[in-house]
Amino acid sequence: MAASSALSSPALLSNNRSPPSCGSVRRSISSSPVLIATPRSSRLSFTIPERRSLVVKSTVGEVSFREPETSGDKEGIESLKLKLLSVVSGLNRGLVASVDDLQSAEAAAKLLEAAGGPVDLTNDLDKLQGKWRLLYSSAFSSRSLGGSRPGLPTGRLIPVTLGQVFQRIDVFSKDFDNIAEVEIGAPWPFPPLEATATLAHKFELLGTCKIKITFEKTTVKTSGNLAQIPPFEIPRLPDSFRPPSNPGTGDFEVTYVDENMRITRGDRGELRVFVIA
């Protein structure tokens, strides 16, 4: 996929005399050859740098990044982004992450966060706009789809397969939706239940980079063999019956964000890596 280019240098004019001490470049003006002498020390050479692209394949699809045209800090940041992607790409959102994997992802994220510097969303909240795909969550290593919060377990007792996970953020309406595709196994001969759950929240910015979300409702839309069922809401528990571990609110800090990648750290120490969908 990489493309290379080269500029051919002009041919030197040859004759029977000894070569002069400077190069001779032939130019044509009105079809008459003209010799322009240039000192050897001032000859210019051009190199068109190669631009390489990388496609990282994982259980959540492909993520493509292209190295920047310019060198410097931006190129260093792009390299750190690629390093982080290579660390988390094969961990199935963190569900199969080992202790070593967690440490490697943490180290790679910290390098990128340090290179990007402090995040200030006060006047740049639109950087959050869009639909973001989750690549990695350190909390999923707990084998729970709720991460460090209550959630469906993954394993043999309840065969739950996690599909794509997204965050859809609208900075104008302050809507913040967590969207998860889930497949729940069923006993033979029944087919598995495929559904998309949308956890709707509202969000607000606290300070420069902390986001507070407040839960509103959960909507489920079945797919596959049950796609004809209309979306339905799951009733919300009254506040008096909600366990202390699930207060209906949460917050996290955005520690790195650009046009195609975002890193957040949750109020329970959860590291998450997203790419724009």
What does the mean pLDDT of the chain come to? 77
pLDDT bin (cut points 50, 70, 90) of residue 205 is very high
pLDDT digit string, tens, across residues 44-53: 333 434 444 5
Q: What pLDDT digit, counting tens, does each position of 178-197 carry?
A: 999 999 888 888 888 999 99
Checking if the pLDDT of 106 tops 90, the result is yes
Whole-number CA gyration radius for the chain: 28
Give the pLDDT of residue 55. 53
pLDDT at res. 137: 95
Q: Six-digit token pair at 95?
A: 């569900």
Closest alpha carbon to 126 in 276, 248, 250 = 276
Relative to beta strand 175-184, strand 193-206 is: antiparallel
Taking residue 179's Cβ as centre, other Cβ atoms within 10 Å add up to 19
Q: Which residue has the higher pLDDT, 124 or 185?
A: 124
159, 178 contact by CB (below 8 A): no
Global pTM reads: 0.70
For range 151-171, the mean pLDDT:
76
Asked whether the predicted pLDDT for residue 9 surpasses 70, the reply is: no
> Which of 106, 111, 118 is closest to 207 using CA atoms?
118
At residue 138, the pLDDT reads 94
Cβ neighbours for 163, distance < 8 A, ≥ 6 positions apart: 180, 181, 182, 183
Is pLDDT at 39 greater than 50 in this prediction? no
Most confident of 29-33, 97-101, 233-237: 97-101
Of the ranges 2-16, 171-185, 188-202, which one carries the lowest mean pLDDT score? 2-16
Question: What is the per-residue pLDDT across 255-274, written as a single tens digit (0 to 9) for each?
Answer: 999 999 999 999 888 999 99
pLDDT, average across residues 222-236: 91
The 10s digit of each residue's pLDDT in 242-256 is 666 666 889 999 999
Is pLDDT larger for residue 154 or for residue 135? 135
Q: Where are the beta strands (DSSP E) in the chain?
A: 3-5, 23-29, 32-38, 48-51, 53-58, 61-66, 130-137, 160-170, 175-184, 193-206, 210-223, 232-234, 249-257, 261-266, 271-276
